[in-house]
Chains A and B, each alone.
Chain A
């Protein structure tokens, strides 16, 4: 860590502090309860991993939820068969999702561009359909896989007698409920962020960015790009598996709908919204989406009526009717609109917006025009 460039170290420390103090600074926003904060961490981790593939190499995977789902299933199975402890569950989930990503990546990465997207989509849909139908013995189909009082838990049995009720996941005996659960997830997000940062700055990360800029040229230069993209694919699949296992640990239930392609689409939305290719962007995108999902879907017509109260009669009623379409059940409409606007006007996401504002302030201060950072194109 001491060898890190100063800016990277500052970014990392800033990120770690921001994450760890979230229960404090999220309080004014009404989001400082552990359940939501845990989801912030988990989806942040998911988006961070997705960004290693999409942001660095430009390969747009539309099937990343498959790894998320596989990680969840693996974690729940580990808690059913081995022990209720969280760490073995996560290791098991990492291994399984890594193998799964290796197999899918090996096949899918033979093609690039839209074909790659469709191959990953096809594999994810196959996993989803199979999880719903034939693989019911493993996935418990529509009901979803959950912990049971009669689970064998062989490792736990060796040390202690069976508990009278369904146990909840622990880490080394520490129950992972409430804020303990949040700090548990936050720790992994920070570690994952550190690894992602190291990857981005390493020669390997430069290679991936080179693939994004121009894969053909990389090939002509004499690099075999396939192992690099495959490595990036497997790493990002393992991130997704880790996130899935964390979700299964904080809420021990794994369902097939986590693998559906809408779930894959969601992580794409998060990454783009925040800014693909940046480190912090995808995490912020994930936080924003999860935050607004939580806030917007809780708003109802009474709250809107109070909000629009200052308008004259009749007009306020119309305002309530119109805005009601965008909140509550319809919050996804807001998300879709915001997403379209972002892609049209700000393809770099929120982080590009921040950069533009920063350079605008910079220019005003120095009144010397400064060139914008070079834009990289994804691999075609």
Chain B
């Protein structure tokens, strides 16, 4: 029984990690700029498609015909050689294999630019407007982003291979000194969890231990006073928006081998992430992370057959149910500060 519970716990971790990463970005934007960003899921999706684009670029091939050899159906043999392999040799092969990891290098600058452009271009004008209008404009932006992606990459999911060495499962049970082959866990999911932990830790460390982070935290607490002290807080908040976009984008990139991305993957995650943010408490970063993992794990437990037999359909609605209960019983969420968006 312990093994079953432990396994479900592990299963919840990777989804929880994705929720936590998206919710972290959402909360960063809300806490700094006070904007309810419905386009955040679209940023996740854009990140995922950075990986797709990167892979499409590095798998560009040269096709040469070799007339001396014939293919089984009689035409001259086509020799396909990926350009990267021609240019970089063995390194090209590595690049192809680990394309998901390398595409992060493309994702970071792209998402930073996208995020900052979005903030400076449109969202900037909505600080003083009511939350309902912020929701509407970011919802519109999300539609635009997802339709653009659809028109360039098509409506179907595009599977992304994971690196060959990282396929298969790790025997965590044996590693922890338990019976072998009872608790196995796909390596990539483990990597995703560790990656999320590093990113989350990095964001917290950045906010906690750097001067920039200190100013941002001060600005979150009292924006006007920080501004009066002669600090250009708007500029820092813009950078924080870019950072939130990068976090969402990286979460998207690393998720591609687990779930082939299509244009509405962001929307699917967004609804859940909003629920996560609300459960964790609007504006609370630790709350967002904790609620992300909590809900991921809860969802994993709810999809156990034993639980489903007991309460049919619970796996479909558990997250929303938790959100409703939390909102009604404790409106500021699990770890929300008193007075922040408490209505």
A and B: interacting chains: yes
Q: Which residues of A contact B (CB under 8 A)?
A: 58, 60, 107, 110-115, 117-119, 121-123, 125-126, 129-130, 132-135, 261-262, 265, 268, 272, 325, 329-330, 332-333, 335-337, 339-340, 343-344, 347, 377-378, 380
- Choice from A118, A339, A344 contacting B143 with Cβ under 8 Å: A339
A-B contact list, 8 entries, CB within 8 Å = A110-B328, A111-B327, A112-B343, A114-B36, A114-B135, A119-B323, A340-B144, A380-B343
State the CA gap A132–B122 with chains docked (Å).
Answer: 37
A125, B271: Cβ atoms under 8 Å?
yes
Residues in A neighbouring B274, C-beta threshold 8 A:
118, 121
State the CA gap A22–B125 with chains docked (Å).
Answer: 39
B328, A107: Cβ atoms under 8 Å?
yes
A344, B122: Cβ atoms under 8 Å?
yes
A134, B312: Cβ atoms under 8 Å?
yes
Residues in B neighbouring A132, C-beta threshold 8 A:
316
- Choice from B130, B141, B341 contacting A378 with Cβ under 8 Å: B130
Known: A123-B324, A130-B317, A134-B313. A347 touches B343 (CB 8 A): no
Considering the complex, give the chain B residue whose CB is closest to the CB of A340. Answer: B140
Given contacts A60-B135, A129-B320, A380-B130, 12 further A-B contacts (CB under 8 A): A107-B324, A115-B278, A115-B327, A129-B316, A325-B151, A330-B150, A330-B151, A336-B144, A340-B140, A340-B141, A378-B130, A380-B131
B136, A122: Cβ atoms under 8 Å?
no
Measured CB to CB, the closest approach of chain B to A73, in angstroms, equals: 16
Known: A118-B275, A122-B320, A129-B316. A347 touches B151 (CB 8 A): no
Known: A335-B143, A336-B147, A380-B130. A118 touches B122 (CB 8 A): no
Is B117 an interface position by the 8 A CB rule?
no
Residues in A neighbouring B139, C-beta threshold 8 A:
265, 268
Measured CB to CB, the closest approach of chain A to B309, in angstroms, equals: 12
Residues in A neighbouring B129, C-beta threshold 8 A:
347
A268, B343: Cβ atoms under 8 Å?
no
Considering the complex, give the chain B residue whose CB is closest to the CB of A54. Answer: B132
- B103-144 CB contacts (< 8 Å) to partner A: 122, 125, 129-133, 135-137, 139-141, 143-144
Is B86 an interface position by the 8 A CB rule?
no
State the CA gap A347–B133 with chains docked (Å).
Answer: 8
Measured CB to CB, the closest approach of chain B to A177, in angstroms, equals: 33
Q: Which residues of B contact A (CB under 8 A)?
A: 36, 122, 125, 129-133, 135-137, 139-141, 143-144, 147-148, 150-151, 155, 267, 271, 274-275, 278, 282, 312-313, 316-317, 320-321, 323-324, 327-328, 331, 341, 343
A122, B275: Cβ atoms under 8 Å?
yes
B140, A339: Cβ atoms under 8 Å?
yes
A333, B316: Cβ atoms under 8 Å?
no
Considering the complex, give the chain A residue whose CB is closest to the CB of B279. Answer: A118
Measured CB to CB, the closest approach of chain B to A216, in angstroms, equals: 10
B147, A129: Cβ atoms under 8 Å?
no
Among B275, B278, B331, B343, the most chain A Cβ lie within 10 Å of the Cβ of B343
A340, B122: Cβ atoms under 8 Å?
yes
Residues in B neighbouring A129, C-beta threshold 8 A:
313, 316-317, 320
State the CA gap A32–B334 with chains docked (Å).
Answer: 55
State the CA gap A333–B271 with chains docked (Å).
Answer: 21
B278, A118: Cβ atoms under 8 Å?
yes
Measured CB to CB, the closest approach of chain B to A120, in angstroms, equals: 10
State the CA gap A234–B275 with chains docked (Å).
Answer: 24
Among A129, A268, A344, the most chain B Cβ lie within 10 Å of the Cβ of A344
Measured CB to CB, the closest approach of chain A to B30, in angstroms, equals: 9
Residues in A neighbouring B316, C-beta threshold 8 A:
126, 129-130, 132-134
State the CA gap A217–B316 with chains docked (Å).
Answer: 40
Residues in B neighbouring A115, C-beta threshold 8 A:
278, 327, 331, 341, 343
State the CA gap A170–B248 with chains docked (Å).
Answer: 52
Known: A111-B343, A134-B316, A272-B136. A333 touches B144 (CB 8 A): yes
A343, B137: Cβ atoms under 8 Å?
yes
Measured CB to CB, the closest approach of chain B to A296, in angstroms, equals: 12
Known: A111-B327, A121-B271, A330-B150. A58 touches B140 (CB 8 A): no
Residues in A neighbouring B275, C-beta threshold 8 A:
118, 122
Considering the complex, give the chain B residue whose CB is closest to the CB of A128. Answer: B316
Among A115, A130, A325, A333, the most chain B Cβ lie within 10 Å of the Cβ of A115
Residues in A neighbouring B313, C-beta threshold 8 A:
129-130, 133-135
What are the nearest 10 A-B pairs in CB distance? A134-B313, A336-B143, A333-B147, A129-B316, A340-B140, A122-B320, A336-B144, A339-B140, A126-B317, A343-B137
Residues in B neighbouring A380, C-beta threshold 8 A:
130-131, 343
Residues in A neighbouring B328, C-beta threshold 8 A:
107, 110-111
Residues in A neighbouring B130, C-beta threshold 8 A:
377-378, 380
Residues in A neighbouring B321, C-beta threshold 8 A:
126
A118, B343: Cβ atoms under 8 Å?
no
State the CA gap A14–B299 with chains docked (Å).
Answer: 53
State the CA gap A125–B275 with chains docked (Å).
Answer: 11
State the CA gap A119–B324 with chains docked (Å).
Answer: 6
State the CA gap A135–B321 with chains docked (Å).
Answer: 17
Considering the complex, give the chain A residue whose CB is closest to the CB of B314. Answer: A134
Residues in B neighbouring A332, C-beta threshold 8 A:
143, 147
Measured CB to CB, the closest approach of chain B to A376, in angstroms, equals: 11
Measured CB to CB, the closest approach of chain A to B297, in angstroms, equals: 19
State the CA gap A93–B278 with chains docked (Å).
Answer: 33
B271, A336: Cβ atoms under 8 Å?
no
State the CA gap A321–B151 with chains docked (Å).
Answer: 11
Considering the complex, give the chain A residue whose CB is closest to the CB of B270. Answer: A261
Considering the complex, give the chain A residue whose CB is closest to the CB of B316. Answer: A129
State the CA gap A350–B320 with chains docked (Å).
Answer: 35
State the CA gap A119–B331 with chains docked (Å).
Answer: 11
Residues in A neighbouring B122, C-beta threshold 8 A:
340, 344
State the CA gap A112–B331 with chains docked (Å).
Answer: 11
Measured CB to CB, the closest approach of chain B to A250, in angstroms, equals: 27
Considering the complex, give the chain A residue whose CB is closest to the CB of B145. Answer: A336
State the CA gap A343–B321 with chains docked (Å).
Answer: 32
State the CA gap A335–B282 with chains docked (Å).
Answer: 30
- Choice from B131, B136, B147, B150 contacting A268 with Cβ under 8 Å: B136
State the CA gap A123–B275 with chains docked (Å).
Answer: 12
State the CA gap A268–B137 with chains docked (Å).
Answer: 12
State the CA gap A265–B147 with chains docked (Å).
Answer: 15
B131, A113: Cβ atoms under 8 Å?
yes
Residues in B neighbouring A58, C-beta threshold 8 A:
132
Residues in A neighbouring B271, C-beta threshold 8 A:
121, 125, 261
Residues in B neighbouring A110, C-beta threshold 8 A:
328
A333, B148: Cβ atoms under 8 Å?
yes
